[in-house]
Amino acid sequence: MCSLTVIGIDSRMRYRIHCDGASRGNPGEAAAGVVIFDAYGTIAGRIALRLGVMTNNQAEYHAVLAGMRLAEQLRPSAIEFRLDSELAARQLSGDWKIKNRGLRDLATRVRAAAPDGVPVSYIHVGRSENALADRLANWALDRTSPDNSTGF
Protein backbone atom coordinates (compact mmCIF):
# COMPACT_ATOMS: atom_id res chain seq x y z
CA MET A 1 0.00 0.00 0.00
CA CYS A 2 1.30 3.43 -0.96
CA SER A 3 0.62 6.73 0.76
CA LEU A 4 1.18 10.15 -0.77
CA THR A 5 1.53 13.33 1.26
CA VAL A 6 1.52 16.66 -0.52
CA ILE A 7 3.43 19.31 1.40
CA GLY A 8 2.57 22.98 1.03
CA ILE A 9 -1.07 22.53 0.05
CA ASP A 10 -3.67 22.94 2.75
CA SER A 11 -6.87 21.56 1.26
CA ARG A 12 -8.79 21.96 4.53
CA MET A 13 -8.01 25.20 6.28
CA ARG A 14 -9.21 27.07 9.35
CA TYR A 15 -11.15 30.23 8.54
CA ARG A 16 -11.82 33.34 10.60
CA ILE A 17 -15.05 35.07 9.67
CA HIS A 18 -15.83 38.63 10.73
CA CYS A 19 -19.56 39.41 10.57
CA ASP A 20 -21.61 42.51 11.19
CA GLY A 21 -25.28 43.29 10.86
CA ALA A 22 -26.67 46.81 10.68
CA SER A 23 -30.19 48.21 10.84
CA ARG A 24 -31.21 51.82 10.35
CA GLY A 25 -34.26 52.36 12.48
CA ASN A 26 -34.19 49.09 14.44
CA PRO A 27 -36.32 47.72 12.96
CA GLY A 28 -35.45 49.34 9.69
CA GLU A 29 -33.56 48.75 6.47
CA ALA A 30 -30.86 46.23 7.30
CA ALA A 31 -27.71 44.77 5.79
CA ALA A 32 -24.92 42.33 6.54
CA GLY A 33 -21.19 42.54 6.02
CA VAL A 34 -18.94 39.48 6.07
CA VAL A 35 -15.17 39.10 5.61
CA ILE A 36 -13.54 35.66 5.55
CA PHE A 37 -9.83 35.29 6.30
CA ASP A 38 -7.86 32.10 5.71
CA ALA A 39 -5.27 30.77 8.16
CA TYR A 40 -2.63 33.02 6.58
CA GLY A 41 -4.65 36.19 7.12
CA THR A 42 -5.54 36.55 3.45
CA ILE A 43 -9.07 37.62 2.58
CA ALA A 44 -10.78 34.57 1.08
CA GLY A 45 -14.19 36.18 0.55
CA ARG A 46 -16.38 39.20 1.22
CA ILE A 47 -20.12 39.74 1.30
CA ALA A 48 -22.18 42.94 1.37
CA LEU A 49 -25.82 41.94 1.56
CA ARG A 50 -29.02 43.99 1.76
CA LEU A 51 -31.54 42.21 3.96
CA GLY A 52 -34.73 44.28 3.91
CA VAL A 53 -36.49 45.48 7.05
CA MET A 54 -35.47 43.82 10.32
CA THR A 55 -33.87 44.49 13.70
CA ASN A 56 -30.14 44.87 14.27
CA ASN A 57 -30.01 41.55 16.13
CA GLN A 58 -31.73 39.76 13.25
CA ALA A 59 -29.23 41.35 10.85
CA GLU A 60 -26.34 40.07 13.00
CA TYR A 61 -27.69 36.52 12.74
CA HIS A 62 -28.22 36.86 8.98
CA ALA A 63 -24.59 37.99 8.64
CA VAL A 64 -23.45 34.82 10.42
CA LEU A 65 -25.72 32.71 8.22
CA ALA A 66 -24.26 34.29 5.07
CA GLY A 67 -20.73 33.70 6.38
CA MET A 68 -21.53 30.09 7.20
CA ARG A 69 -22.88 29.45 3.71
CA LEU A 70 -19.80 30.95 2.08
CA ALA A 71 -17.43 29.11 4.41
CA GLU A 72 -19.05 25.80 3.56
CA GLN A 73 -17.94 26.26 -0.05
CA LEU A 74 -14.33 26.61 1.16
CA ARG A 75 -14.37 23.19 2.88
CA PRO A 76 -12.94 24.43 6.19
CA SER A 77 -11.35 22.32 8.91
CA ALA A 78 -12.60 24.82 11.52
CA ILE A 79 -14.53 28.10 11.55
CA GLU A 80 -14.12 30.95 14.02
CA PHE A 81 -16.72 33.72 13.85
CA ARG A 82 -15.82 37.12 15.24
CA LEU A 83 -18.79 39.33 16.05
CA ASP A 84 -19.05 42.75 17.64
CA SER A 85 -22.53 41.77 18.85
CA GLU A 86 -22.01 40.23 22.28
CA LEU A 87 -25.63 39.04 22.23
CA ALA A 88 -25.22 37.05 19.00
CA ALA A 89 -21.79 35.68 19.97
CA ARG A 90 -22.92 34.48 23.40
CA GLN A 91 -26.25 33.13 22.20
CA LEU A 92 -24.72 31.19 19.31
CA SER A 93 -22.00 29.86 21.65
CA GLY A 94 -24.69 28.58 23.99
CA ASP A 95 -23.54 30.82 26.85
CA TRP A 96 -26.79 32.79 26.87
CA LYS A 97 -30.31 31.55 26.38
CA ILE A 98 -32.13 32.75 23.26
CA LYS A 99 -35.46 34.06 24.51
CA ASN A 100 -36.63 35.74 21.30
CA ARG A 101 -38.43 33.22 19.08
CA GLY A 102 -37.27 34.86 15.84
CA LEU A 103 -33.63 34.77 16.93
CA ARG A 104 -34.06 31.19 18.12
CA ASP A 105 -35.29 30.24 14.64
CA LEU A 106 -32.32 32.04 13.05
CA ALA A 107 -29.91 30.27 15.41
CA THR A 108 -31.39 26.95 14.29
CA ARG A 109 -30.78 27.94 10.66
CA VAL A 110 -27.19 28.95 11.44
CA ARG A 111 -26.47 25.63 13.15
CA ALA A 112 -28.08 23.68 10.30
CA ALA A 113 -25.87 25.51 7.78
CA ALA A 114 -22.65 24.54 9.58
CA PRO A 115 -20.60 21.99 7.62
CA ASP A 116 -20.86 18.51 9.15
CA GLY A 117 -18.06 17.64 11.54
CA VAL A 118 -16.48 21.11 11.41
CA PRO A 119 -15.91 22.81 14.77
CA VAL A 120 -17.46 26.29 14.89
CA SER A 121 -16.77 28.94 17.54
CA TYR A 122 -18.19 32.41 18.12
CA ILE A 123 -16.08 35.15 19.70
CA HIS A 124 -17.16 38.62 20.75
CA VAL A 125 -14.71 41.30 19.59
CA GLY A 126 -14.59 45.07 19.81
CA ARG A 127 -15.97 47.21 17.01
CA SER A 128 -12.48 48.23 15.88
CA GLU A 129 -11.57 44.60 15.15
CA ASN A 130 -14.72 44.25 13.05
CA ALA A 131 -14.36 47.49 11.08
CA LEU A 132 -14.16 45.94 7.61
CA ALA A 133 -17.35 43.87 8.08
CA ASP A 134 -19.04 47.00 9.46
CA ARG A 135 -17.99 49.00 6.38
CA LEU A 136 -19.40 46.32 4.08
CA ALA A 137 -22.75 46.31 5.91
CA ASN A 138 -22.98 50.09 5.74
CA TRP A 139 -21.92 50.08 2.09
CA ALA A 140 -24.81 47.71 1.33
CA LEU A 141 -27.21 49.99 3.23
CA ASP A 142 -26.01 53.05 1.33
CA ARG A 143 -26.70 51.42 -2.03
CA THR A 144 -29.92 52.65 -3.61
CA SER A 145 -30.41 49.51 -5.70
CA PRO A 146 -33.12 47.22 -4.31
CA ASP A 147 -31.29 44.07 -5.41
CA ASN A 148 -30.48 41.84 -2.48
CA SER A 149 -26.80 41.18 -2.88
CA THR A 150 -23.72 42.84 -4.20
CA GLY A 151 -20.68 41.11 -5.57
CA PHE A 152 -18.15 42.91 -3.46
Ordered domains of the chain (ranges, CATH)? 14-150 (3.30.420.10)
Edge-to-edge strand ranges of the sheet holding 120-124: 120-124, 78-83, 14-24, 28-37, 43-54, 149-150
Confidence grade of residue 12 (pLDDT, cut at 50, 70, 90): confident
Q: What's this model's pTM, rounded to 2 decimal places?
A: 0.87
Q: Hey, how many other C-beta atoms are within 10 angstroms of the C-beta on 119?
A: 12
In terms of C-beta density within 10 A (0-12 exposed, 13-18 middle, 19 or more buried), how is residue 24 classed? middle
132, 35 contact by CB (below 8 A): yes
* pLDDT digit string, tens, across residues 34-90: 999 999 999 999 999 999 999 999 999 999 999 999 998 999 999 999 999 999 999
Q: Where are any strands of DSSP class E within 72-132? A: 78-83, 120-124
Express each pLDDT in 91-139 by its tens digit: 999 999 999 999 999 999 999 999 999 999 999 999 999 999 999 999 9
